[in-house]
Amino acid sequence: MKLSSKINLSTAVLFAFLLIVMNFSVYISFSKLLLGSEIDTANRELKKTADAIGQSLGTVPDLDLLRSYVPIDGMIRFVPKDNQRIISVTSSTENKLKERITKFSKTEISQFIEYQNQSYIFESMPIIMSDGNEGNLQIIKSIKTTTNNLKILRLVLILVTFLALVPVIVSSRILSKLITRPVTTMIKTMTEIRQSGRFKRLILEEKSKDELYQMGKTFNHMIDLLETNYEKQKMFVSNASHEFKTPLTIIESYSSLLKRRGLADPQIFNESIEAIHSEAIRMKDMTEQLLLLAKHHEQWNIHKTEINLTSFLKQSLITFRNAYNIDIHYTDENDSEPPLTVLTDEKKLKQLLFIFLDNARKYSDDTINVALGIMDGEVYIKIMDRGIGMSTEDLTKVFDRFYRVDKARNRKKGGAGLGLSLAKEIADAIDVRLQLESKEGVGTTAALFLKKKKNTHFLSIF
C-alpha cells in the first residue's frame, strides 16, 4: 500500500472513530437526560394525582374519579391488595393496556416498561382505597413522542457522521498528497538519475521551511556531494591514466634495457636505475597529490586554530631552507604592529606555502623573497622569485591540472603539473585568496591573502 493511501486510510478511520465516539456520547447523554426528565415529570404528576384522588375518594365513584385523571396516551387504575377487583380507565389510543397483567406492590415503583413493542413509564404508589383497604394507584403513560425524538436524533447523528466523513476523506487525501509530494518527487528524481545516469536536483519551494523542505534540501546537498565526488573520481581516473602512462613507459623501457645490456654496461645500468628510481618517486608524489585532489573539501578534516602568523612563517621558512639548502630572504612589513594572529588550519596553510616555495625553487636558482604585511584590510604573504616567469596566456591556465609553463623542461625538475591545481583546492578549502603576477624573463610573485577582522589586530580565515 502506498504511503498516501496509508495516510488517507488511517486519517479517515481515526476521525471516523472519534466522530462515532463523540456522537454516541452525545446520544447517550441526551437520551439519559430526556428519559430522566420524563421519569421526574411522571413522578410529580403521580403525586399530584394521588393527592387529588385522596381528597375525592368516597365522595365520587372510583370509575368516574379515575376517568377524570386518565392520561391522554396512557392508563390509570386502582389495584387492591388482593389483586381481585381492579378498576382501570384507559385513553382511546391505549385500550390494549387493559390486557397487561399487574400486581399490588407495597413500595413506590417508577420505571420504563416495554409492552407490545412500545415504551411506557410505569408509576405505582400505595394508597388507601375508598373501602378503607390498602391498594395501589398505578399510572402507565406512553413516551412515544420521546422515543420518536430519540430515533430522529439517532438518525441525524448517523447522517452527520457519514456527511462529516466526506470532507474528512477529501481533506485527508489532499493532506496525504501534500505530505508525500516531496517523497514522490524525490523517488521520481532518483529513478531518472538511475535511468539516465545524470545527476538531477529537486526544485524546492521556499514558502515554508518545514521538515519536508529540509529533507529536499538535504537530498540536493547529497546529490551535490555525489556529483562532485563522481566528477573527481572520473577526473582522477582520467588524470592518473594520462599521467602514469609516460613514467610507466620509461620504467618499462629502462627495465627492458637493463635486461638486455644492464649487466654488460655499468653506465647503462646506472642510468637505468637512476631513471627508474626518479620516475618511481615522481609517481609516488603524483599519486598522493591525485588522491588529495580526488577528495571533497569536507573530507579534508579542516581543523582551524589560532596561530601566530609571524612565528609560523619564520619557522616554515627555516624548515624549507634547511631541506633544500636554498637562500630565502624574509621581510616583515608589519614590524611596527603587534604579531599577526589568524584562525586557520596550520597544516593546510603550511602545505599551501610549501607548494609556492617549491615552485619558486624549481623555476629559479636565485634568492627567493618572502614578505608578510597588511594591505586594504587583508593580510598577505608574498613569495617572489627571479625565474623564467610566465606569459599572460600561461597565467590563465596555470591552475589547470597537468598544465606546465615550461613544456620543454625535463620531468625530473618540472613535476606532474598538479602543484598549483592542488594549491587552488587547498586555498578554497581554507578561504585563502590567491593572486599571481608574472613577467617572462623577470620572475613570478605569488600572493596569499587572508581576511582581517575589523577593529582588531586578530585575523581569521572564514
Query: What is the structure's pLDDT at 454?
Result: 45
Better pLDDT: 250 or 368 = 368
Q: Count the Cβ atoms, other than its own, within 10 Å of residue 383.
A: 21
Q: Do residues 397 and 411 lie in contact, with contact meaning Cβ atoms separated by under 8 Å?
A: no
pLDDT one-digit tens code per residue, 263-308 = 777 888 888 888 788 778 767 766 766 676 666 555 567 788 888 8
Q: Count the Cβ atoms, other than its own, within 10 Å of residue 352.
A: 25
Query: What is the structure's pLDDT at 87?
Result: 87
Determine the Cα–Cα distance for residues 236 and 290; give it in Å rounded to an integer: 6
pLDDT one-digit tens code per residue, 83-117 = 888 888 999 888 888 888 888 888 999 999 988 88
Helical pair 211-257 and 266-294, crossing angle rounded to 10 deg: 180
Q: Do residues 380 and 327 lie in contact, with contact meaning Cβ atoms separated by under 8 Å?
A: no
Residue type for 403, please? Y
Which of 424, 316, 427, 302 is closest to 370 using CA atoms? 316
Residue 129 pLDDT level (bands cut at 50, 70, 90): confident
Pick the CATH number of 3-151 from 1.10.10, 2.30.30, 2.60.40, 3.30.450: 3.30.450
Calculate the CA dihedral of residues 223, 225, 231, 233 and round it to 10 degrees. -120
Query: What is the structure's pLDDT at 458?
Result: 36
Q: For the chain, give the percent of residues with pLDDT over 70.
A: 84
Residue 216 sits at the vertex; the CA angle it makes with 211 and 221, to the nearest 5 degrees, is: 120
Mean pLDDT to the nearest integer, 455-461: 37
How much is the CA Rg of the chain, to the nearest whole Å?
51
Residue 68 pLDDT level (bands cut at 50, 70, 90): confident
Q: Count the Cβ atoms, other than its own, within 10 Å of residue 179.
A: 15
pLDDT one-digit tens code per residue, 30-49 = 999 988 888 898 888 888 88
Residue 53 pLDDT level (bands cut at 50, 70, 90): confident
**Distance from CA of residue 263 to its chain's centroid?**
70
Determine the Cα–Cα distance for residues 319 and 315; give it in Å rounded to an integer: 6
Q: Which of 192-196, 322-326, 357-361 has the highest mean pLDDT?
A: 357-361
pLDDT one-digit tens code per residue, 369-420 = 999 988 887 889 999 998 888 877 777 667 665 555 554 443 334 454 566 7
Pick the CATH number of 211-294 from 3.20.20.70, 1.10.540.10, 1.10.287.130, 3.40.50.300: 1.10.287.130
Which of 82, 52, 44 is closest to 69 using CA atoms? 52
Q: Do residues 398 and 405 lie in contact, with contact meaning Cβ atoms separated by under 8 Å?
A: yes
186 contact partners, CB below 8 Å, separation of at least 6: 202, 215, 216, 219
Q: Residues of CATH 1.10.287.130 domain(s) within the chain?
A: 211-294
Q: Residues of CATH 3.30.450 domain(s) within the chain?
A: 3-151
Mean pLDDT to the nearest integer, 209-226: 80
pLDDT one-digit tens code per residue, 245-258 = 767 777 888 788 88
Task: Count helices and strands (H / E) in the chain.
Answer: 10, 12
**Residue 287: C-alpha distances to residues 243, 254, 279, 297 (Å):** 10, 21, 12, 18
Q: Do residues 345 and 358 lie in contact, with contact meaning Cβ atoms separated by under 8 Å?
A: no
Q: Do residues 143 and 121 lie in contact, with contact meaning Cβ atoms separated by under 8 Å?
A: yes
pLDDT one-digit tens code per residue, 154-183 = 999 999 888 888 888 888 888 777 777 777
Q: Do residues 201 and 192 lie in contact, with contact meaning Cβ atoms separated by under 8 Å?
A: no
**Burial (Cβ within 10 Å: 0-12, 13-18, ≥19) of residue 110:** middle
- Give the 3-state secondary structure of residue 201: coil
Better pLDDT: 24 or 401 = 24
- Give the 3-state secondary structure of residue 219: helix
Which of 135, 26, 118, 21 is closest to 80 using CA atoms? 135
Residues 432, 301, 236, 281: is their CA dihedral positive or negative?
positive
Q: Which of 144-158, 276-290, 352-366 has the highest mean pLDDT?
A: 144-158
Residue length of the chain = 462
Query: What is the structure's pLDDT at 383?
Result: 92
- The fold for domain 300-451 equals Heat Shock Protein 90 (3.30.565)
Query: What is the structure's pLDDT at 83?
Result: 83
Determine the Cα–Cα distance for residues 356 and 340; give it in Å rounded to an integer: 21
